[in-house]
Amino acid sequence: MAEWAAKRFWEKATVEVAGDGYQVLLDGRKLRTPVKSELIVPSREMAEAIAAEWQAQEEKIDPMTMPVTRSANAAIDKVGPMHAEVAALVSEYGGTDLLCYRAESPEGLVKRQSEAWDPLLEWAAETLKAPLKTTAGIVHVKQDAAVLANLAKRVSDMDNFRLAAFHDLVGMSGSLIIGFATIHRFLPVPELWRRSRIDEDWQIEQWGEDDEASATEAGKKVGFEHAARFYFMVNNG
């Protein structure tokens, strides 16, 4: 896969229309995914972001500095051939959503979870027509089958690019509802991320911060914010 060669081999990355989408050219050569599919994306904004990532590469190529390219590759190479399986995997979070499992104590954590998560569940019940039940402790709460089917249908209806982003939003937050709240812009992305970390932040306050864990957490936050940005790029033709 020439695009991921160790050294830069092109002078200029450009964007052009390709059917109903857009593609990136490296000195006039079509950019392809790791499995050799044409890298055609749904919006000009996304294509221009990919072109900018390639244009910014120096002598040696660093894929880790190209998040939009990597997400587009995943949408085409991974989600595309397994759309139904990915949608089903993501939808499973509805049955064990983070927001539905509450602490029994201490009172401070119980209150903090309620303040952060109750508005999200109320929003889901009203906007998504998906009322979810909550429980305290680790006892499993069975959600209504029709509610889960409704949420699953919303996930399966996403195209490959949106689903690739949504997969990361849900996986990183641990919550299908936070994923939906993100793409519906219910709250700012950083605030939604904060609400997904109520338990972790509480533990840090009680026991102190671990440098390694903090670095991992910071990386997840960047990934969550990128996934939101990538999702919204789909609409920006």
CA dist 74 and 91 (Å) reads 18
Architecture of domain 82-233: Orthogonal Bundle (1.10)
Q: Is residue 155 within 8 Å of 94, Cβ to Cβ? A: no
The pLDDT, as a whole number, for residue 237 is 53
Torsion angle in degrees (nearest 10) through CA of 173, 233, 62, 77: 80
pTM of the model: 0.93
CA 181 → CA 16, 120, 151, distances in Å? 33, 7, 12
The pLDDT, as a whole number, for residue 3 is 47
Q: Is residue 73 within 8 Å of 34, Cβ to Cβ? A: yes
The domain limits of the chain are 2-59, 82-233
The pLDDT, as a whole number, for residue 9 is 84
3-state secondary structure the chain: CHHHCCECCCCCEEEEEECCEEEEEECCEECECCCCCECEECCHHHHHHHHHHHHCCCCECCHHHCHHHHHHHHHHHHHHHHHHHHHHHHHHHHHHCHHHEECCCCHHHHHHHHHHHHHHHHHHHHHCCCCCCCEECCCCCCCCHHHHHHHHHHHHCCCHHHHHHHHHHHHHHCCHHHHHHHHCCCCCHHHHHHHHCHHHHHHHHHHCCCHHHHHHHHHHHHHHHHHHHHHHHCCCC
The pLDDT, as a whole number, for residue 6 is 65
CATH of domain 2-59: 3.30.2180.10
Torsion angle in degrees (nearest 10) through CA of 116, 117, 121, 122: -30
The pLDDT, as a whole number, for residue 2 is 42
The pLDDT, as a whole number, for residue 235 is 80
Per-residue pLDDT of the chain (237 residues; tens, 9 = 90+): 344 456 888 889 999 999 999 999 999 999 999 999 999 999 999 999 999 999 999 888 898 999 999 999 999 999 999 999 999 999 999 999 999 999 999 999 999 999 999 999 999 999 999 999 999 988 899 999 999 999 999 999 999 999 999 999 999 999 999 999 999 999 999 999 999 999 999 998 888 878 787 888 889 999 999 999 999 999 865
